[in-house]
Chains A and B, each alone.
Chain A
């Protein structure tokens, strides 16, 4: 981890289930209120549908299914983040269970053996909170799902 990474930065703290996670604040666009979730058939892992926010169609990722092991049932708020997809960039949303907080903290290294989508940790009070890399979270979930499908197909 570089010295630049270790200096104090801003993070958004989000509640998913009974755990809190942090995302770098510079990737977050806004916290949107509960909005109708539009579903349609697709085969992309982790995606649960789209919301319409500020006249844009925003895909919604159910991060809770990876992070806390169960799908979000009630979508109280949507944390809208900017995500790079190849050479393009588009908005994506994660349902979260409570209002988010903004905090400044030094990014600490993650523990050995943590998933690749955990970029590091920050200390908030006495709590150590995982800092997520949204891009890695999505790509690892996709890889895990494809692996699961291959095993199902083989079995």
Chain B
């Protein structure tokens, strides 16, 4: 059964169809706007590149990818969404934020007709995590907010904890979305 959701019932929504990446973490599906992802890299390709650093305040970040003068923080998708730990195989390198998100798999690209607001009943961290909800293949799937993986304050705290100098590296195993 296919259902077209009533946009009037959900108030304002993003009306333009959008290309999105359908990915999964701990068997949970998520969507992210394709234009928010700069590239997708395999974690195998990152293994010899990432810098580990001590950071007890923000447990979801334990690695940094040397990239530019300040590097890119690697966010564990499992820890971020409070999901069971898994072995991520891919990293989504975000376009507008110095962050990469570890995910288990990328399923496919999908055209999402609309993003509906998260119901107001949801009042926790998910209001930062998600832009809204999408209806795809008869499932309701959260659409992640790229800026929700690390807040400005978290960037500042990570900046204070990160190594002062980073090695130069060549990217390996990357895919453009």
Contact = CB atoms under 8 A, between A and B. Distances in A.
Contacts of A43: 82, 124-126
Interface string B116-140: 1001111111100100010100111
A55 B120 contact: no
B140 A50 contact: yes
B140 A42 contact: no
Interface in A57-83: 57-59, 61, 83
B28 A41 contact: yes
Interface in A28-67: 36, 38-44, 47, 50, 52, 54-59, 61
Given A42-B126, A90-B119, A55 B6 contact: yes
Contacts of A1: none
Nearest to A45: B124
A85 interface: yes
A147 to B, nearest CB: 15
Interface of A: 36, 38-44, 47, 50, 52, 54-59, 61, 83, 85-86, 88, 90, 92, 138, 142
A55 B5 contact: yes
8 contacts: A36-B138, A41-B82, A42-B122, A44-B123, A56-B9, A57-B10, A57-B119, A85-B121
Given A40-B28, A90-B120, 7 more contacts: A41-B83, A50-B133, A55-B4, A56-B6, A57-B10, A61-B121, A90-B121
Contact of A56 (B10, B82, B120, B125): B10
B160 interface: no
B164 interface: no
Interface in B1-48: 3-6, 9-10, 28, 30
Contacts of B109: none
A33 to B, nearest CB: 13
B142 interface: yes
B81 interface: yes
A59 B122 contact: yes
Interface of B: 3-6, 9-10, 28, 30, 81-83, 116, 119-126, 129, 133, 135, 138-142
Nearest to B82: A41
Contact of A59 (B6, B10, B121): B121
**9 closest pairs, A vs B, by CB?**
A43-B124, A38-B140, A55-B6, A85-B120, A59-B121, A42-B126, A41-B81, A44-B124, A59-B119
A72 B5 CA distance: 27
Nearest to A41: B81
B121 A44 contact: yes
Contacts of A57: 5, 10, 116, 119, 133, 135, 140
B91 to A, nearest CB: 19
A55 B3 contact: yes
Contact of A42 (B5, B10, B125): B125
A38 B141 CA distance: 8
B119 A50 contact: yes
Contacts of B82: 41, 43
Contacts of A142: 123
